[in-house]
């Protein structure tokens, strides 16, 4: 993808602070970290999002995200780590080359997740679980 920032990072056309690289995967520091040590893990091949990426490639970036999480925890002594993939703008995706965020968390850092949770209405959970199962 010619106009993809992360493809340009893979090619070396845009600089990045690399943490890990192999033939299929690149891990580098997010330019605007939530906390210091925030790493992005990407496949070198361009896929847009979780819908698009082949399962094997997702497995590759997941394994790397696990290794990054252990390394970030060990190196920086953080209190926790979020591993997330944002898909589509409604979910906060800004760069359309699939990437896994490895986000170090510090107690009391205030970056809460998923404010305003709701409860299921009577029968609603079963109905929605069935809908999802049938779509598999």
Q: Mark whether 99 is an active-site residue.
A: yes
String marking each residue 8-47 x if it binds Zn ion according to CB under 5 A: --------------------------------------x-
- Total residues at the site for ligand AMP (CB under 6 A)? 12
b or e along 3-22 (b: 16 or more beta carbons within 10 Å of the residue's beta carbon)?
eebbbbbbeeeeebeebeee
Nearest Cα neighbor of 35 from 101, 92, 88 is: 101
H/E stretch holding 132: helix 124-135
Nearer to ligand AMP, 78 or 98 (CB): 98
User: Between vectors from CA 105 to CA 102 and to CA 108, what angle results, nearest 5°?
Assistant: 160
In the three-class reduction of DSSP (H, G, I as helix; E, B as strand; rest coil), residue 130 is classed as helix
Stretch that binds ligand AMP, among 54-62, 72-80, 87-95, 109-117 (CB under 6 A): 87-95
String marking each residue 19-58 x if it binds ligand AMP according to CB under 6 A: -----------xxx-------x------------------
> Going by DSSP bridges, is the β-strand pair 25-29/80-84 parallel, antiparallel, or unpaired?
unpaired
Residue 93, contacted partner among ligand AMP, Zn ion, none, CB below 5-8 A by kind: ligand AMP
Catalogue the active-site residues.
Answer: 99
Binding site for Zn ion (CB under 5 A): 1, 4, 6-7, 46, 97
């Amino acid at each position: 993808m010619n106009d993809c920032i992360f493809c340009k990072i893979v090619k070396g056309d845009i600089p990045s602070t690399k943490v890990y690289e192999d033939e299929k995967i690149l891990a580098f520091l997010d330019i605007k970290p939530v906390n210091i040590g925030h790493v992005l893990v990407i496949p070198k091949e361009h896929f847009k999002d979780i819908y698009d990426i082949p399962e094997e490639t997702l497995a590759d970036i997941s394994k790397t995200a696990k290794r990054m999480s252990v390394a970030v925890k060990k190196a920086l002594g953080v209190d926790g780590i979020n591993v997330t993939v944002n898909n589509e703008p409604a979910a906060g995706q800004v760069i359309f080359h699939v990437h896994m965020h490895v986000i170090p968390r510090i107690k009391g850092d205030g970056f809460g997740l998923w404010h305003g949770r709701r409860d299921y209405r009577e029968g609603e959970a079963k109905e929605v679980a069935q809908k999802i199962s049938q779509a598999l």
